[in-house]
Structure 1
Amino acid sequence: MNVWLTRLRPDLRHPAARHDLRDAHDLHRRIMMLVPDDLGEHARRETGLLYRVEHTPSGPQILVQSRVAPDPRRLPAGYATAETRRLDPLLNQLRTGVVIRYRIAGNPSKRLAKASPGPGRPGQVVPLRGADAEQWWIKQAEKHGLQVASLIARPVPDARGDKNGTRIKHAIVQFDGTAVVTDPDLVRAAVLSGIGRGKAYGCGLLSLAPLKVDR
């Protein structure tokens, strides 16, 4: 298993960095520069590339995960600083019953059925809010080998952009908390493939860390 995590710290003095943080589609295209060209129509899926934008007191950062070694030198000069490390050791240590900390910026949503009451058209994907969003994550976690023990849900700015004249908008909720591993293989698969919709636009990256217990 080969998995890399790269932490990009965009330099907000760089015009391309400022622009990309405002346009989810252009940011997606920029992040894809980290991996080789000519990988076909499904390059993101083939490389397992997932990312999440986080806003910290020291400025924005972008966490990028991939199954191929990233090459930050392919980014424009001065665009961002980059730190890369392997995730294999952490994933290999997952065991049933282990308690972990998690973070995921998800796109809680559902597709309306033909007979759905209320606004919206059949087949439309609509965002979930509040308690519905929390239940979405609890069910997703269970399906992917985690039993949620604690949960903090925080809406973050939508992923917005323009793709060839088509407006892009994905509602995002960041979920943080602790969980118990019930199926390590399912958890590893979820980390590698991501969870939910909007993976090309900063959703679905599941980050894990061992739970540190004070002694």
Structure 2
Amino acid sequence: MTLWLTRIIPDQRHRDVHRDSADAVNLHHRIMSLFPDDIPSTEPRRHLGILFRTETSRDGDRILLQSNREPDLTQLPAGYGPAAAKPLTPLLDALRKGLPVRYRIVANAVRKPGATTRALYSLPEVVPLNGPHAEEWWTRQAEAAGLALTTLHSTPLDTAVGNRRQNNQRVQHARTLFEGTARIADPDLLRTRIHEGIGRGKAYGCGMLSVAPRREAP
């Protein structure tokens, strides 16, 4: 199965871009509009392997989209911004045990307290993590994804928020950017986690793990 990586550079002057960037549900629907709506599955996002995240850099904002089917980029509104897709197969095939890599993921780092703890401290079912607690969460997730971390830097991001159209239910997912360096401990497990994503909030811009080989200083 070919995995595709798509890069969209949204034009912040475009009305639809402004609306999508302000509402995680709108952006989810925008992403899903690039794929057929007749998928024979009750979970089309999972069936299509769709994961994405938004990034801000010195060159501006971008949307990175991963899927197991090439998206139809003609479905983007005219003027939305340039976009291009390429297969990730060469990268995935190059992953091997011991390979040094750079990694990046925007994830929803959370803890789910037990019922007794929730009642005792009046906690919600899902508690967002930050700082060292979020980094501990990612360290465990990385190890379970076949990565042996060598460096880790975390940055809290704005919470992904929106309202589902069907029932007006509020969507809210805390987000943290984790990036750094690692060595691959289990390439097959890493490929699986890249395909499936990590953590909660995958429909709303969380959980897409990216890796790239890196050179080590001589």
Relative to the length of structure 1, the TM-score reads: 0.95
What is the CA-CA distance between 1:115 and the residue it aligns to?
1.7
Q: Map residues 144-155 of structure 1 onto 2, 5 A cutoff.
A: 144-155=145-156
The one-letter code sitting in structure 2 at the alignment partner of 1:118 is Y
Q: What residue in structure 1 maps to residue 3 of structure 2?
A: 3
- 1:59 is displaced (CA, Å) by 2.1
Structure 1 counterpart of 2:45: 44
Q: CA RMSD in A?
A: 1.2
SS in 1 for 2:179: strand
Counterpart for residue 72 of structure 2 = 71
2:104 and 2:210 in contact (8 A); partners too: yes
Q: What secondary structure does 1:185 align onto?
A: helix
Residues 160-169 or 88-97, more deviating: 160-169
Kindly report which structure 2 residues correspond to 1:63-212, keeping only aligned pairs within 5 A, or say none. 63-116=64-117, 117-121=120-124, 124-164=125-165, 165-212=168-215
Q: Is 1:55 matched up with 2:56? A: yes
What is the Cα deviation at residue 213 of structure 1? 3.1
- The one-letter amino acid paired with 2:20 is D
Of 15-24 and 37-46, more deviation after overlay is shown by: 37-46
How far did residue 214 of structure 1 move?
4.6
Q: Secondary structure at the match of 1:73?
A: helix
Deviations 1:167-211 (A, max 9, x none): 111000000101111111100000001000000000000001111
How far off is 1:83 after superposition?
A: 1.7
Q: Percent identity?
A: 46
Q: What letter is aligned with 1:144? A: A
Distance, in Å, in 2 between the alignment partners of 1:84 and 1:211 is: 22
| Shift, 1:130, TM fit | 0.9
| Corresponding residue for residue 14 of structure 1 | 14
| Structure 1 SS opposite 2:82 | strand
Query: Aligned AA for 1:203?
Result: C
Give the deviation of 1:71 after TM superposition.
1.2
Q: Residues of 2 paired with 1:58 and 1:176: CA distance?
A: 18
For structure 1, list consecutive stretches of 5 or more residues without a partner in the other structure: none
Greater Cα offset, 65-74 or 31-40: 31-40
Per-residue Cα deviation, 1:46-83 (whole angstroms, up to 9, x for no partner):
00000000012232100000000111101111112102
**Matching residue's letter, 1:4:** W
Report how many aligned residue pairs link the two structures.
213
d(CA) in 2 for partners of 1:73, 1:58: 24
1:140-172 per-position Cα deviation (integer Å, ceiling 9, x unaligned): 011111111100000011101111321111000
Letter in 2 for 1:111: K
| Counterpart Cα distance in 2 of 1:171 and 1:154 | 12
Instruction: Return the letter of the residue paired with 2:127.
Output: V
The answer to which structure has the higher strand fraction is 1
Structure 1: distance between partners of 2:85 and 2:8:
9
SS of aligned partner of 2:215: coil
